[in-house]
Amino acid sequence: MEAPQPPAQPMLWSGWGDPVRASELPAPVRRLLADLLGVRAPESPAVTLDEVRPPAPALPASVLDALSSAVGGGHVRLDDEARIRHTRGKSTPDLLRMRAGDVSDAPDAVVLPGSHAEVAEVLRVCAEHRVAVVPFGGGTSVVGGLAAAREGFAGVVALDLARLDRLVSLDAESMVAELEPGLRAPRAERLLAEHGFTLGHFPQSFEYATLGGFAAARSSGQASAGYGRFDDMVVGLTVATPRGTLDLGRAPKSAAGPDLRQVILGSEGAFGVITSLRLRVRPLPEVRVYEGWRFATFPAGVATLRRVAQEGPAPTVLRLSDETETMVGLARPEELGTLASEPGCLVIAGYEGTAGDVAYRRECTGATLSEMGGVPLGPEPGEKWAHGRYSAPYLRDSLLAAGATVETLETACFWSGLPRLYEAVRRALTASLGSPLVMCHVSHVYATGASLYFTVVTAQSDDPVGQWEAAKRAANDAIGSAGGTISHHHGVGRDHLGAYAPEIGELGVAVLRGVKERLDPDGILNPGVLIPES
């Protein structure tokens, strides 16, 4: 399966992705939502872009002049549309507020640097004038990672890295590529493919997310079983901070003290701005094969995935939908509403590589799946999943427009705790929302554990933002009590701060604050994100 081309249109300002792909739910699906969940169409339609007016920019002329000197006057944007398009991310609460016309979090300016030196100068200017800086890649955060705390600052700028979009160099012998952080994933794949390589990183946000965002949020792609997480791919980083430049990564591995690359990976723009990435690449696969298997129950499927992950050889893609997700058909979002004809749980297994390697891993994995009670379904389910793997966020927009609240959350833990975590989150969501539709799949597997990815659908209340925030708090509490991590790959942002602090403990929080104070003493970088409050 070839990587899709980047969409021709900018991201939908109040939803996900390419506006050309926005569509209404089919009538049968709307009737099903009404019958099962009591979903009713909203009383008022979403506002249009022309109807939205952000607050007047608050930055003094002297600051704007200094920013223009840093990056060039044509690269400081103050127009309403640019500011609206850089407001918040793409969580369901973000989108609900945008659809209601609430852009109170809009930045005062959008600044587009074209080099490391320009990024460093922007940070100097903003530190001098106490202006908050929100690094902005694809705008795909789903944890409140793009809404800066304004209190105590003269204003907020969105630092859009779109001009930093080059493949700088390629060391084919070492299989290491240097790329800039503003590259969107499809363009990065296309540039690497010209030289016979791939990153193999294909998260659901692939169409719009950037490489810098992948690193800053510690992303994990759908093919992580074969290619690894994005942080596994990072061998070097250049980072601009208000205190100077960090240039990290001289070798694949080192015993020269703690690995400072790990301080930046997952830091969500709170410690510095990534301006260059040196990434491990892999040869383009000769063969791609995706297929489906059915297991009678979710526990049986989990036990099988654990065995495959621990004994190997691992497929490139390995994921398991629970009974509800399989029945509804969320693994094939373009066919939502076509209920599964047989009960059970769907496993998607995918293999990429040379013909011989794919054949070997497929044979070994297939033998294990069969031995554990799996029923082969052939290539059709796998190919349908691969074809629709980036469609779910578009489906969320359609559901929101129809009057449903739909959101996702994810976590991870060790294999022994996975059943308890699964049940705890489901109970918490049901207790908070009444009778929601709660679906789940195992999205990433490791020898020691796995992640769980939940999708929740319910009828919108009169206060859908408050409705979801209450459910999210309940789910966060359940995750912590059951021993899971608050995030496997979405990050911390603002939404997870309350749950992140107890996960790392008081001393861990103090360490984060110490790093923040050293690299960003004025606290201008993405304030309110990642660092728990005192």
Of the candidates 140, 143, 138, 144, the residue with the CA atom closest to the CA atom of residue 160? 138
Which conformational region is residue 417 in: left (phi greater than 0), alpha (psi within -120 to 50 degrees), or beta?
alpha
User: Which CATH number does the domain 287-387 belong to among 3.20.20.450, 2.40.50.140, 3.30.70.3450, 3.20.20.140?
Assistant: 3.30.70.3450
Domains 54-160 and 287-387 alike in fold = no
Mean pLDDT throughout 331-359? Answer: 83
Q: Which CATH class is domain 167-283?
A: alpha beta
How far, rounded to the nearest angstrom, does the alpha carbon of residue 504 sit from its chain's CA centroid? 21
As a whole number of angstroms, the distance between CA 439 and CA 457 comes to 9
pLDDT bucket at 274, cuts 50 / 70 / 90 = very high
As a whole number of angstroms, the distance between CA 22 and CA 40 comes to 20
As a whole number of angstroms, the distance between CA 334 and CA 119 comes to 41
Q: Which residue has the tokens 């690193």?
A: 215
As a whole number of angstroms, the distance between CA 229 and CA 213 comes to 13
The predicted pLDDT at position 100 comes to 95
Least confident among 36-45, 132-141, 472-481: 36-45
Q: Which CATH class is domain 54-160?
A: alpha beta
Q: Is the pLDDT of residue 105 over 70?
A: yes
* Main-chain dihedrals φ then ψ at residue 291, nearest 5 degrees: -150, 165
Helix residue spans in 222-339 (DSSP H): 224-227, 230-233, 261-264, 298-311, 323-328
CB half-sphere exposure, 494, CA atoms < 13 A: 16
Q: Is the pLDDT of residue 97 over 80?
A: yes
Q: Is-contact 294 325, C-beta < 8 A?
A: no
As a whole number of angstroms, the distance between CA 156 and CA 152 comes to 11
Tell me the β-bridge partners of 283: 197
How far, rounded to the nearest angstrom, does the alpha carbon of residue 141 sit from its chain's CA centroid? 6
The predicted pLDDT at position 1 comes to 46
pLDDT bucket at 73, cuts 50 / 70 / 90 = confident
CA dist 349 → 202, 342, 372 (Å): 15, 19, 15
- Provide the angle, in degrees to the nearest 10, between the axes of the packed helices 116-129 and 61-71: 170
Give the contacts of 260 (CB within 8 A, at least 6 positions apart). Answer: 246, 248
How does strand 167-171 pair with strand 176-179? antiparallel
User: Each residue of 411-422: pLDDT tens digit?
Assistant: 999 999 999 999
Tell me the β-bridge partners of 177: 170, 279
Q: Is the pLDDT of residue 66 over 50?
A: yes
Q: What is the pTM of this model?
A: 0.95
User: Each residue of 28-46: pLDDT tens digit?
Assistant: 888 989 999 999 999 888 9
Domain ranges in the chain? Answer: 54-160, 167-283, 287-387
User: Each residue of 209-262: pLDDT tens digit?
Assistant: 999 999 999 999 999 999 999 999 999 999 999 999 999 999 999 999 999 999
Helix residue spans in 319-406 (DSSP H): 323-328, 355-371, 379-387, 392-402
User: Each residue of 384-439: pLDDT tens digit?
Assistant: 999 999 999 999 999 999 999 999 999 999 999 999 999 999 999 999 999 999 99
pLDDT bucket at 340, cuts 50 / 70 / 90 = low
Q: Is the pLDDT of residue 165 over 60?
A: yes
Q: Is the pLDDT of residue 333 over 80?
A: no
Tell me the β-bridge partners of 409: 454
Q: Is-contact 298 322, C-beta < 8 A?
A: yes
Of the candidates 439, 384, 378, 344, the residue with the CA atom closest to the CA atom of residue 1? 384
